[in-house]
Structure formats: structure tokens, C-alpha cells
Amino acid sequence: MTLEETMRELERLGSPQTRKTYLRHGAPEPLSGVNFGPLGALKKRIGTDPALARALWSSGHTDARLLATMVADAPALSWAELGAWAKALDWHTLTDVFVTNVALRSPHAVKALEWTRSSSEWVGRAGWQLLASLLMKSTVLAQEDLSPWVKRIEQELPTAKNRVREAMNSALIALGAQGGALQVAALATAKRLGKVEVDHGDTACETPDAAQYIHKVQARKAGTAAKTPRASKPVAAATKSAKPSATKRTATKSAKPSATKRTATKSAKPSATKRTVTKSAKPSAAKRTATARTRTRA
């Protein structure tokens, strides 16, 4: 699809209700108000289209930028272009979608964690959201010493910008969800920080309590582990043993009539002697002739 065709389709798919919702959440204009369901369907129709993604992103149109993150060839974006997209972020939903669809899939994802030090509210949010996503959705940081991140959150969150505080809270939850000493440190930090205040505007959104969510994530992980069937291999073995053994199969085969029985069965047919006897029951030619002569004389 061309840029013009895509923009017309976005306008067609937009709805007044979704537009109002986006505006309440801080989305900038221009926008059509296309829900994520239709956006996902449109993304499937387009597929991956780097040129279109760049054009959509450059348009500045809110819905077009959301779609751009979906059709971009994220692994192919250079570090410079990834940074340019991050600098153009202008509201929290677009930031989070950009992190999930683009930054997280980029080979520069770990390097992009330096965004956490940005003075820009949206670039800073992208950095902390990326940290949370890397912890929860990948294993690239599994061997890293993550304790400095907990210390930074405790030091920087109280004075961080509004939507950055929200992302730092998400990162703290993701750190605590790793378990062990990191969980202990994250829970202690959450307790000292107390409730994280975030202005969500004219919405019903609330900032999750970090300590509660860390416990929830751990409970969910424990529940998933408990549901994993450990006896799957023995069951498979039992299933296999349900097949007839070699002995049983031999016995089954032996149930077929033996050669002796088949011979006996065949012998049940009238023998040559019996057939001869049967034939001899008919009057012989001599008898038939004699009978005929006797009748003539009579």
C-alpha cells in the first residue's frame, strides 16, 4: 500500500469514541482514532514494509505512527535511526508500543538502555520500559548484575518526570520478579518508596503497587511451574507399552489356522474316492443298455 492509500484506510477505520479515548490519554493531533484491533488487521494486510513505516512515522499522524511501529523492519534499523524514532516520541502509549514492536526487537536493545538517563520524558520512559520488557520477555540480561538498577530507581524515581516514574515502577516490578536476592532488594526499595504517584489525566488508570505486583508475578510463576506435567515421559512410556508385545503378537499370529488345520480343512472336501463313488451311483452304460432292451421286448 502507498502512504496515501494507508492514510485513507486509517481515516476510514477511525471512530469518534476511540479518538476521544486517545485524546484523554494524551495523544496529540492529528489522529483518526483507530483501535488496536483494526490496526493489527491492517498490519497483517501490509506485512513488513520499511519504506512505508518511515513515511508513516514522518507524517506525525498519531495512528500512522502506531502503525509504523508494526510494519517496520525493527532488526534492520540502524542505531542512529532507532535513536531518531525515540526522540520523536510524544505520548506514553506510542512510547510503549514503540518499545514493544521496535526497540525490543532491535539488535541495539541493550545499548538503548542508556535512554534511562535522558532528560526527555518520553525517551526516559522508553529506556525504563525497555528495561522492564527485556527482563520479562527475554533472557539477554540473565547474566547481568541487576542490583545497580534497583539502587538507581530508589535514588531517581522521586524526582523523575511523571511518565518516567510510571515506567520506573514497572521496571522495579520486573526486577523483583527475577526472585532471589534481587526480589528482596526490590521489595525493600518498594517499601521505602511507598506509593508511586503518577498523573494519569482524565482516565481511570492507576499505578500498580510494586510490592503487591512482585508477589503476584512470583505466585503466577509458581503456579505455572506446578502445572507443568512432570510425569509426561513415564506416561508416554506406559502408552507405548500398551502396544502388544512381541510375545503377544506371536501369540496373535499363531491364532491363525496352522498348516495341519488348513490341511484338515481342505480334506473336508470330498476325496477322489468319494467322488468316484458318487459317480458310480449313476447307472452304468451297460445297465442303461440292458434296461432299454428289456423295455423293447416287453
Compute φ and ψ for 230, nearest 5 degrees: -80, -25
Q: Is the pLDDT of residue 112 over 50?
A: yes
Mean pLDDT of 150-159: 98
Nearest to 56 by CA among 123, 5, 110, 114: 5
Backbone angles phi, psi at 121, to 5 degrees: -60, -40
Query: Which pLDDT score is estimated for 230?
Result: 57
- Domain contains 19: yes
Is 34 part of a structural domain of the chain?
yes
Dist CA 120 CA 252 (whole Å): 79
Residue 154 scores a pLDDT above 60: yes
pLDDT reported for residue 224: 78
Q: Mind listing the pLDDT tens digit for each residue in 171-214?
A: 999 999 999 999 999 999 999 999 999 999 999 999 999 999 99
Domain that holds residue 46: 1-72
218 inside domain: no
- Residue 205: the pLDDT is 94
Three-state DSSP state, 170:
helix
Q: Which has more pLDDT, 246 or 94?
A: 94
Grid cell digits, residue 180: 532471589
Is residue 12 included in any domain, yes or no? yes
In a domain, 270, yes or no: no
Domain for residue 141, yes or no? no
Cα torsion 45, 51, 52, 53: sign: positive
Residue 58 lies in a domain: yes
- Residue 20 placed within a domain: yes
Q: How many domains does the chain have?
A: 1
pLDDT at 283: 43
Separation between Cα atoms, residue 93 and residue 39, nearest integer Å: 14
Of 97-111, 135-149, 253-267, the one with minimum mean pLDDT is: 253-267
**pTM (predicted TM-score):** 0.75
Higher local confidence (pLDDT), 177 or 255: 177
